[in-house]
Amino acid sequence: MADEVAIRVPADFEEEFPGASRSAAEAGANLVRTSDALLAEFGRRRREIADLSASGFQALAILEGAGEPLPGHVIAERLLVSSASMTSLLDTLEGRGLVERLAHPTDRRKVLVRLTDEARGIVDRMLPTVHLAATEALADLTEGQREQLITSLAVIRARLAAMSGQPPPTPKSRRKRR
């Protein structure tokens, strides 16, 4: 295992950026770097099974988890993407033979999306692979540390959700350059 060193900012960080927090900057940088590395590992393992984008795999996993065909807008909501992006993604997945579009049984205006048998096989191989990667990545943390991490990440997500509804504040000017 490679020894990773925590990302740190210079001791005079708060002097350079008045109003900023040195520890918040370090935590944010480490969180982003860790997230990028975990997503890269998920991608590396996914590509060994099928050449799918992260959103393509997530759409298949959403459909598999639902256990029934879903309207495209429901998949889009769960993926947090626009309906235009979802249409493009579904076009790609359908072109690859991984999903089928079906007429809704009671509403002619709606279309349902379902997995093909090939896609179900991909998801059945991919989900255990992704879950194993997460298990391996967090193997050095105790159960208590994992629970604390989960709680901390939920607090951060809640704060980000609250921030997203507000106009961005004006930061104080940078005092000095390096």
Residue 5 counted as domain residue: no
Residue 175 counted as domain residue: no
Residue 2 counted as domain residue: no
CATH number of the domain that residue 39 is part of: 1.10.10.10
Q: pLDDT tens across 110-152, in order?
A: 899 999 999 999 999 999 999 999 999 999 999 999 999 999 9
Residue 137 in tokens: 């990545």
Residue 99, strand partner residues:
115
Integer angstrom CA distances of residue 39 from 32, 71, 117, 134, 146: 10, 27, 26, 10, 18
Q: pLDDT tens across 24-53, in order?
A: 999 999 999 999 999 999 999 999 999 999
Residue 174 counted as domain residue: no
- Helix extents (H) in the chain: 13-16, 22-49, 54-66, 72-79, 83-95, 117-137, 143-164
Domain that includes residue 127, residue range: 13-162
Residue 111 counted as domain residue: yes
Q: Report the number of distinct structural domains present in the chain.
A: 1
Residue 170 counted as domain residue: no
Residue 177 counted as domain residue: no
Residue 133 in tokens: 């990667």
